[in-house]
Every structure is written in C-alpha cells, then in structure tokens.
C-alpha cells in the first residue's frame, strides 16, 4: 500500500502565504523606493542657483558651443522702504563745481591776474599769506568773489586797479604844445597826441596843466575821482622839476626858497632844493613842491632874482618821466597807479 507523502503544515502554510506575503510587502517597498528617489533628487531651483552646477542655459548646441540664454521678462520688484537718514550729499548735483559757494562777481585771484599783479596760482599764495586786502579787510579764504567795479583791493597796502575801463597814461609833453584836448587857434595840443584813443571811444582828460613853455610829465586818465584829488592842494601830491635858471645861484637861495617866499597870492615854498650844476652863467637845480598854483616854479625863481630859462617836470608822486621821449605816451604800471591812489587816500 502506497503511502502518500506527508506535507508539512509548515510547508503548506508557507506555500499558501508566501505569494500573499510578497504581494502585501511589495506595495510598501515600492512606495518607499519612490520616496527615497524623490528625497535624493535635488530641487530644480536649488540646482539652478547652486554655484558650481551647470545651468540649463549652459547647454551646448550641435556645434558644441554653449547656447545663449533665453531672455526672461523682468519682474517688477516691490519698492523697498528704508527709514535710514539720507546722506548729506545724497541728492547733490553731479555737475555742481566743488569749492567755495558760487556767487556774483569775479574770483579774487582772477582779478589779481587781470590787474597784472600775479598769476592765479601766485595770487592764491598772496591770499594765503594774508597780503591781500579787500575793502579794508584782509582776505585769507580762497575763491572769494568780488565786484571789480566797486571793490577796493590792495596788495601789501598798495591799491590795485581792477576796473577794466580805467586808463592811466603818462605823456612827455613837448615844449611849445598846449595842455588842452583841442585848440581853436590850431596850435599843437595834447589832444593831437591822444586823438586815436579818443576816436576809439576813450574819454581822456589831463591831470592839471603845464604851460606851453614847460615840458615834461603830464598825466592823462578817465578816472575823474583820481584826477580831482591829484589836483586838489589839500592832498599835497609832490611834483619834481628840473629848472635851468639864469645866473649862478648863491648859497642862501636854496634856504630862502625852503623857508618861503611871499608872492602876490600868498606865501609859497619848496619842499626840497638841490643845486646840480653851474655852467656858463646858468644853474641847473632840482626842486620838489606840492603847490599847484599856476606858474608857481617860475614865480618862485623870479622872486629870488633868477628867472627860469627851461623847465621840465620829471615826477608826479610815484610816477617818474625817466627816459621817455618827448611826444610819446606810455601806460602806467601797477605800482605807479597804486602809488597815485595811495597818495590821495583812495
């Protein structure tokens, strides 16, 4: 009698439950695998922004060259509000020049340069050294703007003329010429020498007069205030003459002239007297005086018995005739003009 193989209960249980067990376990395993893959796959945005990772825009084309990135629409960003205090120059104009504040007028160093005092750089050094004065106040700051027409500028105490239209001339008037701008009798006059300047629009007038027989220095200007003060006796501007007189002067003549001589219109005297030469019955002397009366030098020497043969004015204040030829004009230098202004308190 054949015996049937005895199946173990364990085996039967295993055989029946194994497929079911596999089916039951496969689903959680599959879900676990998908979850792990999802966790292990990096975020696209993170990969794109992470440094060192190739971007999608870096993909290569068929020729092996990197493709150009596609233009993306710019996204409007919301305005950011900041409560921080703005900087002092946050809204300053970029074209605004730096330095001292801008104002009316002309920079002082430029005024000095145009007046012939010094270059702009040298003018800045004069200002920094405290040698420049404007309207009675010493200026130390650079870039100060002034009105050249009205400001009174001095360098080392000497007045600087900064007005462009002011003219100061020195003329060596020849002997026999009239000290007038025109002459009805047709005689040669000062106006003939400066006719070109007058026709060009300059309004010139002579400072004082020299008689026709007197030659030498005569000032011409269009500065009426200066001319008035130079001619006024109260300002006592000195004038120097070379006089050739008849006869040999005695020793006491000079002393007498300095002490004073009585004339028809009052006493008069000279400030200085120097005997230069005696030759062939004539004497050459130099005298300085601040009198402005008509023919004053000739009248003084007539009073002491030595009439004048030839008279030449050589100096007016700080202006000297020098070797200037008769009938010629020259423009006064800055120091000469400043000396004239200083002599009359301008």
Which residues are tagged catalytic?
211
Question: Which tokens is 120 given?
Answer: 């702009």
How many other CB atoms are there within 10 angstroms of residue 292's CB atom? 16
Three-state SS letters, the chain: CCCCCCCCHHHHHHHHHHHHHHHHHHHHHHHHHHHHHHHHCCCHHHHHHCCCCCCHHHCECCCCCECCCCCCCCCCCCCCCCCCCCCCCCCCCCCCCCCCCCCCCEEHHHHHHHCCCCCHHHHHHHHHCCCEEECCEECCCCCCEECCCCCCEEECCEEECCCCCCCEEEEEECCCCECCCCCCCCCCEHHHHCHHHHHCCCCCEEECCCCCCEEEEEEEECCHHHHHHHHCHHHCCCEEEEEEEECCCCHHHHHHHHHCEEECCEEECCCEEEEEEEECCEEEEEEEECCCCCCHHHHHHHHCCCCEEEEEEEEECCEECCCCCCCCEEECCHHHHHHHHHHCCC
CA 207 to mean position of chain CA atoms: 32
């Amino acid at each position: 009698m054949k015996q049937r193989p005895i199946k173990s209960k364990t085996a039967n249980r295993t055989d029946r439950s194994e497929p079911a067990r596999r089916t039951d376990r496969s689903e959680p395993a599959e879900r676990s695998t998908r979850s792990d893959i999802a966790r292990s796959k990096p975020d696209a945005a993170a990969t794109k922004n992470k440094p060192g990772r190739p971007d999608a825009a870096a993909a290569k084309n068929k020729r092996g060259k990197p493709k150009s990135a596609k233009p993306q629409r710019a996204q409007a960003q919301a305005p950011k509000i900041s409560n921080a205090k703005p900087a002092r120059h946050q809204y300053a104009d970029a074209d605004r020049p730096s330095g001292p504040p801008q104002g009316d007028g002309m920079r002082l160093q430029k005024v000095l340069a145009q007046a012939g005092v010094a270059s702009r750089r040298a003018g800045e050094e004069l200002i920094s050294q405290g040698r420049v004065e404007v309207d009675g106040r010493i200026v130390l700051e650079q870039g100060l703007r002034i009105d050249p027409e009205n400001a009174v500028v001095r360098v080392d105490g000497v007045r600087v003329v900064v007005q462009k239209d002011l003219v100061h001339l020195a003329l060596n008037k020849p002997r026999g010429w009239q000290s007038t701008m025109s002459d009805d009798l047709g005689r040669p006059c000062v106006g003939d020498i400066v006719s070109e300047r007058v026709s060009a629009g300059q309004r010139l007038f002579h400072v004082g007069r020299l008689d026709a027989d007197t030659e030498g220095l005569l000032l011409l200007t269009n500065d009426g205030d200066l001319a008035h003060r130079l001619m006024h006796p109260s300002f006592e501007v000195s004038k120097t003459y070379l006089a050739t007189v008849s006869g040999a002067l005695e020793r006491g003549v000079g002393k007498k002239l300095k002490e004073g001589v009585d004339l028809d219109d009052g006493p008069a005297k000279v400030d200085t007297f120097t005997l230069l030469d005696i030759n062939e019955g004539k004497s050459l002397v130099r005298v300085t005086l601040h009198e402005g009366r008509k023919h004053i030098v000739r009248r003084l020497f007539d009073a002491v018995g030595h009439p004048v043969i030839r008279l030449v004015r050589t100096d007016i204040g700080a202006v000297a005739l020098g070797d200037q030829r008769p009938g010629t004009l020259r423009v006064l230098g800055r120091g000469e003009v400043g000396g004239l202004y200083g002599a009359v308190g301008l």
